[in-house]
Structure 1
Amino acid sequence: MFNSFKNYLVGAALILSPSLWVSNVWANDVVQMVHNADQYRLEAKSAKVVSLVSLYEHHQLDKTRKYSVYTRPNRESLVLFKSEVEAGQKMLMLGDNYWLVMPKSRRPIRITPMQKLLGEASVGDISTLTWSEDYSATLVDVESLDIDGETVEANLLSLVATTKGASYQKIDLWLNKQSDFPIKADLYLRSGKLAKQAWFKAGERNGQTRVTAMTLLDQIQPAKKTVIEYQEITEVELADKYYNPAYLTRNALAEL
């Protein structure tokens, strides 16, 4: 009888408090939502991502840059700058530690998480490809979005950084309610300032729906826009030596 009364009280509380119901129902599912969203962007644990970055100003194409990004578990990635004007530059990210290697330089340069976001190429945006490793997420609301004239129901999640090296301190992320495909994201700096808004483009890769491009609208310099196209994603696992800053300074890595 006591258990029946207890269940009655719990049920009544959930009816009277929708927010309590939402927090209980979605608490376990939100982690899976973020994981699913990551899978649309990078399905392999270790991969090579070839990215073409187009930089626009006042709606006019200003320049393009190309990068090869090698990722592997434990928040480790190596970025090779492939455009002629940046050829030979490398960026290595090992957890919360970052190095920039310049051509002919004898020593790697330690940089901060903020510095990897600076510059026209938005290296921080192309190199940090997963949310589930750097953020904790909570469900905020369910919203209706107008996407090209079509109404789409989306779960709005609030992501808060759990690591020092996260590119952004906070992210508001909208996921398709039916599929968890990422639709858009508001990206906030540690100061709380809204830096960029990202929109994700759906396409097909290897017969599966995937994020094939991301458009970043600069909220600090509204005239600027960055489009990152993921031209190729293949499952590749580099040897450990490539994730050593000292090795990068001694080798051009022309083979990659």
Structure 2
Amino acid sequence: MDFNNKNVLITGASRGIGKATAIAFAEKGAKIGINYRTNTENAKRTLEELPGKDHTLFQQDISEDGGPEKLVNDFISHYGKLDVLVNNAGISIFHKIDEVDFEHWTSAWENTFKTNLFAVSNLCYWGAMAMVKTGGGRIVNVSSRGAFRGEPTKPAYGASKAALNSMSQSLAKALAPHKIYIGVVAPGFTETEMAVVTLTPAERENLLRESPFQRMAQPKEVAHAIVFLASEGAEYASGTIIDVNGASYLRS
């Protein structure tokens, strides 16, 4: 899988899955646009770790009005062409229905969908418009096993990812005539820097028991699936949702 002379834009790329994905593409010769919202220090650290050259930081809150259009335009202004768009950025807010007040409940739904679905749909729009002009491209959206199994403590998160899956498959049909291919990767719980800090020992133990591998996914394993869907030769997998959850949740 060779990505020499390919330009890749990755949202939420300063850490975790996004960072691992940036490294994976850069190792294969791609030029990487690292999108991040606020953590400039982490973004700069990721930039320094990327092999190759001509990688660039793009600070932009994709949930802001006009944010997706500006991000894609800034990327095109710098690189001239967008070959691969990876929509990785997302948020997750605790809002168990019998433990929060109505204000918290509605706020969680609004903010989660604003980032996890509406921003991604807008990025798909502007990314696709750019790709149509240059003869095609790849879009890979990062979903979650929560789209299938349910998220009782974060129902908006599960619902947003389920909607993301449906949208991605609709776009796979709509954009195929333009040689734009859409893929989805649905990870289980992944051992990112944030997970290490936020999980209690009991929570970690419960997560380890969910998979027969008795471990969580590593970010680079999720990145491997993302790179595959963006690769030449994977075109006929457009519309596919790849589960990367260590057999912790199996769907028919």
So what's the TM-score if we normalise by structure 1?
Answer: 0.28
Higher strand share: 1
Query: What TM-score do the two structures reach when normalised by structure 2?
Result: 0.29
